[in-house]
Amino acid sequence: MIEPRYRLRVYILTALVLFGFGVLLSRLYEFQIIEQKAFKDQIPGNRQITVREPGIRGEIKDRNGIVLARNKRQFEVSFNLEEIHQAYRLQREEATKNDIGDEKGMPRSVKVTDIVEIVKERVIGPLADLGLARDFNADAMRVHYKTHGGLVPFVYTTDVTYDDFAKFAEHSLDIPGVYLNVRPLREYPYKALSCHALGYLRQWSKGTIPEAARREYGYQYIGDDAGIAGVEATLDDMLRGTEGWKKIVKNEKGKILGEGAYDVLDPGVGAEVTLTIDAEAQYLVSNVIRRAGDASGIVMDVRTGEILAMASIPDYDPNDYIPSISEAKAKEYDSNPLHPWMDRNINAFAPGSTFKIPTALVGATRGLATRVFNCSGGVNYGTQRVRCWIEKQKGGSHGPLTLPKAIQQSCNPYFMQLANAIGAPGMPDGFRMLGFGEKTGIPLPGEQTGTVIGSREWLRRNPNERSTPINMGFAAIGQGNSMATPLQLCAMISCVANGGRYYQPRLIKKAERREGEKMVTIVKDEPRLKVDLLKEGVKKSDIDLIHLGMWKAVNEQGGTAGRVKIPPYEVDGVKLPGYEVAAKTGTAQAETAIVDGKPYQRHNSWTMAFAPYNEPRYAVVVFVHDGKSGGKVCGPLVHLILRGLLARDEGMRLPLHPLDPVAGKLEPIEEIALPADVLEAIDLTQNDGDTGDESAEAAAASGIVPENPNATQPITPKPTITRKADAEGTVVKPRKKPPARSH
C-alpha cells in the first residue's frame, strides 16, 4: 500500500504528464490542421493558392429601363506584397550563398526590410523597363503591408489602357507578386441625377474581412464594396453578387505556372433593381428646383403611390466616391454648410399652412367637413391672440367660412377652430393615420419622422407641454413645433387627389435575380394601400370639398396659389394654360440666423399640388428653404414641373442628360418669376393670400421658437433676389379647357 505522502506525488506527476500531453496534442492540432496550409506553402516546390473574387453588383434602372447605376470594366494592377517580400528573401539567400553582389556592387547579404524599397528593386524597375511604371503612395503601401500582409492585394494602379493591359499580360508572369485583373467598377452615368436616391459605395476595408479569410484564401482576399447611402445601402445585400474564386499554381519562386487559373468559380451577379423613378421626370424636377438655392421636389403617381421623381439640392456626384473619394473633393463636400448628402425630401421641416389639408381630412373623419366657422380676424386663447393674415394686412376678417373657402383663403382662425373641435387625442391620432409623425417606410437611410403636436413622441420630448387648445390650433396650421417631410406631404396630397386612398410611397418598383436560366422576383411590382379614408368615416363629398378648396386656391381671385401681382414684378403661381390644377401653399418660420450681428428670420416655403384636376395623375410637392412665400417662390416651380410632365403626356419629349452637382446657396428669395411666354398664356388676375405673415403671428402668440441647430451661427448677408425661371423646353400647346369638376 502506497503511503499518503507518495500518493500525492503520484497524483501530481500524473497531472503533469496529462497536462504535457494536452499541450502537445494542442500544438499538433495547430500545426497539422490549423496551420497546415501555411507550412505547406513554405515547402519548396509548386503550390496552389486561392484568390477570392467579389460578386458583381446588380444594376439599378429607372422604371423605363434606363440604367442609373452600372458596372464598367476596369483594368487593375495589384501587388501581393508578401509574395514580393518572400521572393526578395529567397533571392537574397541564394545570392548570399554564392556571394553575388547586386548591380551596384553591394553584397546581397545586406538586409533590406522596407517593403517600399523592396518593391522598387524587385518590381518597379522591371515595369519601368517596359514603360509601365506608375506613381504610387509609398506611405500607403507601408501601412497596407503592415495591416494586411499578403492577404489583401495592394492596388498599384487602375490607370491602365488596353495596350498597357496587353503588355502587363505578356510580362506579369515573370514578376512574382504582380497580378493583372479585370474588375467591375461602379459607375453612375447620369452623375448627380437622383444621387440621394441611388447613394454611393465605399471600398471594403479590413474590418469587413472575416476571421477565417486568411485560412480559406491564404494569399489574396478581395472584398465587396459596401453601399453607404441611398438604395445602394438599404438594398446592399440584394445588390451584391455571390462570391467567386480562382485557384492558381505557382512555383517556389512565386512565378505563375502555365496560363494561370486552372480552377475557377465565376462570381455571381446581384439582383437587378428597378426604381419607380422616371429618369426624364427626375431630370426635369432636378433642373427646376436648381432655380432655388436650397430646395427639394417630389412627384408621385397618385394612383399607385410610386415616386416618379425625387430631387434635392445641393447634391453630389456618386462617381466621386468610386473607387475612393479624393482628399480635395472630400474637403469640398465637407466644407459645404448646406450638407450636399442631406436628402431634403426625407428630412423634416416646419410645414406651415400645408398642414391645413390634413387637418381638414381629420375633421372629415369626425363629420366636421361641412361645418362653418367664423373668422373674426383672429382666435383668442386667454390673453393671447393669433391673428389671420387678413386682419394684419387689411384690418378686416373673412367672416363665416366653409371648408373650400377656408382652404382658398388659407384662413388661420378657421382651421384652428376646426382643430379645437376635433380636440386631443383626435388631432395627433388622425395625423398619424395620414403618415405624419412616423417614417413612410421608403427604403432610404436617414428618413425622419417629423413631429405631430400632441403625439406621445411630442409629449415625451416636451414634458412640460400639454395638448392644450392653443397647441392643437398650432398643429392645424403647421406652426409651433410641427415638423413634416416633403415625402410625407406628397403622400398625403396623393391621398387627397385619388379620392382618399393612402398608398405607402414606393421607390422600388421591382427587383429580380437570375437563378440559372430563370429570373426570380424578389420584390413584386404592386401598390401597397395603407389606409382607405372612405372606410374611416370620410365621405366622397368631403374629399370633393377639399378638392374644390384647392382648386379655388389656384383658379379664383383670392386664392393663395394663383397669380400674385406685386409691382414692379408679375409673378405667377401654379396655374397652367389648358389644364386645371389644385394646390395649397404654405410658409413657416424656420431658424433664426445672425446677419451683421442682428437676428434674421428665415422661412420655409411650400407648394403642394395635383393635376389634372378632373383625372389626377401627378402629385407634386416643392420645398424651398428661405423662400419668403409658398405661392410666389414654390408655386412657379410647381408650375414648371407640371408643365413639363403634362407636355410629355401630350407627346413631347423631355430631355435627359448627365447632371453636374451644384453646391447650392442659402439666400432669401422673394419670388421666382415665370418666363414671359408662360405668363402670356395665362389669364391675368390679382389674388391675395399666403404672405408668410401667418407664421410670424403664430410664433408671436405661442412664444415657441422653431427648432434650430444653427441659430447661433452667423451667415454672410446676401441681397434679396428675384429669380427668373426658364421653361426648359417644356412649353405645351394650349388646348381646350376641360369642364369643371362636379362638386
Q: Give the cell for residue 586.
A: 404654405
Phi (first) and psi of residue 594, to 5 degrees: -115, 120
Q: What is the pLDDT of residues 610-638, one digit of tens each?
A: 999 999 999 999 999 999 888 889 999 99
Average per-residue pLDDT for the chain: 82
Confidence at residue 45, expressed as pLDDT on a 0 to 100 scale: 62
Question: CA–CA separation, 568 vs 293, rounded Å?
Answer: 23
Residues in CB range of 693: below 8 A, 6 or more apart: 389, 392, 393
The SS3 of residue 455 is coil
Confidence at residue 655, expressed as pLDDT on a 0 to 100 scale: 92
β partners of residue 394: none
pLDDT-derived band of residue 719, with 50, 70 and 90 as boundaries?
A: very low
Question: CA–CA separation, 492 vs 530, rounded Å?
Answer: 11
Residue with cell 411650400: 606
- Per-residue pLDDT for 717 more than 90? no
Please say whether the beta carbons of 358 and 592 come within 8 A. Answer: no
Cβ burial, residue 207 (10 Å; 0-12/13-18/19+): exposed
Please say whether the beta carbons of 41 and 218 come within 8 A. Answer: yes
Q: Give the cell for residue 489.
A: 406631404
Question: CA–CA separation, 303 vs 58, rounded Å?
Answer: 29
Residue scoring higher pLDDT (219 or 152): 152
Confidence at residue 584, expressed as pLDDT on a 0 to 100 scale: 95
- Per-residue pLDDT for 715 more than 50? no
pLDDT-derived band of residue 568, with 50, 70 and 90 as boundaries?
A: very low
**Among the residues of 149-275, which ranges form H helices?**
162-171, 195-198, 213-216, 230-234, 236-239
- Per-residue pLDDT for 426 more than 90? yes
Please say whether the beta carbons of 109 and 96 come within 8 A. Answer: yes
From 295, 309, 288, 297, select the one nearest 604 (Cα to Cα). Answer: 295
From 64, 63, 286, 191, select the one nearest 658 (Cα to Cα). Answer: 191
Question: CA–CA separation, 199 vs 445, rounded Å?
Answer: 10
Confidence at residue 640, expressed as pLDDT on a 0 to 100 scale: 92
Question: CA–CA separation, 654 vs 278, rounded Å?
Answer: 11
Please say whether the beta carbons of 602 and 593 come within 8 A. Answer: yes
Cβ burial, residue 273 (10 Å; 0-12/13-18/19+): buried
Q: What is the pLDDT of residues 303-359, one digit of tens each?
A: 999 999 999 999 999 999 988 888 899 999 999 999 999 999 999 999 999 999 999
Least confident range of 450-459, 535-544, 582-591? 582-591
The SS3 of residue 641 is helix
**DSSP of 366-401:** TT-TT--EEESSEEEETTEEEE-HHHHHHS---EEE
β partners of residue 295: 313, 624
What Rg, from alpha-carbon coordinates, does the chain have?
A: 34
pTM to 2 decimal places = 0.81
Question: CA–CA separation, 658 vs 53, rounded Å?
Answer: 31
From 269, 255, 268, 267, select the one nearest 49 (Cα to Cα). Answer: 255
pLDDT-derived band of residue 98, with 50, 70 and 90 as boundaries?
A: low
Question: CA–CA separation, 404 vs 698, rounded Å?
Answer: 22
The SS3 of residue 215 is helix
**DSSP of 311-331:** EEES---GGGGSS---HHHHH
The SS3 of residue 33 is helix
Please say whether the beta carbons of 154 and 81 come within 8 A. Answer: yes
Residue scoring higher pLDDT (402 or 52): 402
Question: CA–CA separation, 560 vs 584, rounded Å?
Answer: 7
Question: CA–CA separation, 623 vs 604, rounded Å?
Answer: 7
- Per-residue pLDDT for 460 more than 70? yes
Question: Region 10-23: what's the mean pLDDT?
Answer: 84
From 495, 476, 381, select the one nearest 421 (Cα to Cα). Answer: 476
Cβ burial, residue 555 (10 Å; 0-12/13-18/19+): buried
- Distances in Å between the Cα of 595 and the Cα atoms of 386, 600, 625, 627, 719 are 28, 6, 17, 17, 11
The SS3 of residue 634 is helix
Q: What is the pLDDT of residues 186-229, one digit of tens each?
A: 999 999 999 999 999 987 765 666 666 655 665 567 778 899 99
From 610, 653, 571, select the one nearest 280 (Cα to Cα). Answer: 653
Q: Give the cell for residue 491.
A: 403622400
**DSSP of 113-176:** --HHHHHIIIIIHHHHHTT------HHHHHHHHHHHTTSS-EEEE----HHHHHHHHHHGGGST
Confidence at residue 392, expressed as pLDDT on a 0 to 100 scale: 77
Q: Which helix (H) or strand (E) holds 49?
A: strand 47-53
Please say whether the beta carbons of 88 and 118 come within 8 A. Answer: yes
From 352, 345, 343, select the one nearest 605 (Cα to Cα). Answer: 352
Q: What is the pLDDT of residues 674-711, one digit of tens each?
A: 766 554 444 433 344 454 445 455 444 444 444 443 33
Q: What is the pLDDT of residues 635-670, one digit of tens each?
A: 999 999 999 999 999 998 999 999 999 999 888 898
Question: Region 552-564: what's the mean pLDDT?
Answer: 73
Question: CA–CA separation, 199 vs 317, rounded Å?
Answer: 9
Confidence at residue 101, expressed as pLDDT on a 0 to 100 scale: 56
